[in-house]
Amino acid sequence: MRADAKNLILIGMMGTGKSTVGAILAEELGYELVDLDQVIVRKEGRSISDIFENDGEGYFRTVETESLRETVQTGGQVIATGGGAVLAEVNRELMKENGIVAALSATAEDIISRVNGDNNRPLLAGNAEERVRRILEERKDAYSFAHCTVDTTNLTAAQVCQYIL
């Protein structure tokens, strides 16, 4: 790990490929890959769905901010954030101050096909298609603070990485 280097922070809606792209980028850069949702799961000792179900989204967001604050203290990491990590101003500031922020975007159709059948995304429980469309609309400007944005439509994960690099 190159602790003196900046972090590369990936943001974007659920299902835009942050984890897949993050793994390739980490390999290419010789950085450590940190998945912020996994940091939260380890910290809490339970799944994301369990946290939402038993303590609600507000509690999850508090732990998400704590986890982000702790994670960005170390440099030389590719950090794949959860799709809603951009919602809090404090998180956006932490990201901008501690790394290069790259956003991944995708069409509603691509996102729906990628998240289909995944039951570890509590915000999509029920009618995933309708929820993806609604959340995309609610968050349409939330990812625009990134230093760069890659529209992943028709691109392979490797091509997305080349754009970011």
- 83 near ligand S3P (CB under 6 A): yes
Residue 75 Rama label (left phi>0; alpha psi -120 to 50; beta): beta
- 17 near ligand S3P (CB under 6 A): no
Cβ nearer to ligand S3P, comparing 14 with 150: 14
Among 8, 14, 106, 132, the residue binding ligand S3P under the rule CB under 6 A is: 14
The values of phi and psi at residue 125, to 5°, are -60, 145
Residue 105 β-bridge partners:
151
Cβ nearer to ligand S3P, comparing 135 with 164: 135
Among 25, 26, 123, 142, the residue binding ligand S3P under the rule CB under 6 A is: 123
CB 119 within 8 A of CB 49: yes
Among 7, 9, 34, 37, the residue binding ligand S3P under the rule CB under 6 A is: 37
DSSP state letter for 5: S
The contacts of residue 157 (CB under 8 Å, 6+ apart) are 17, 20, 21, 24
Applying CB under 6 A, which part among 76-84, 96-104, 142-150, 153-161 lies near ligand S3P? 76-84
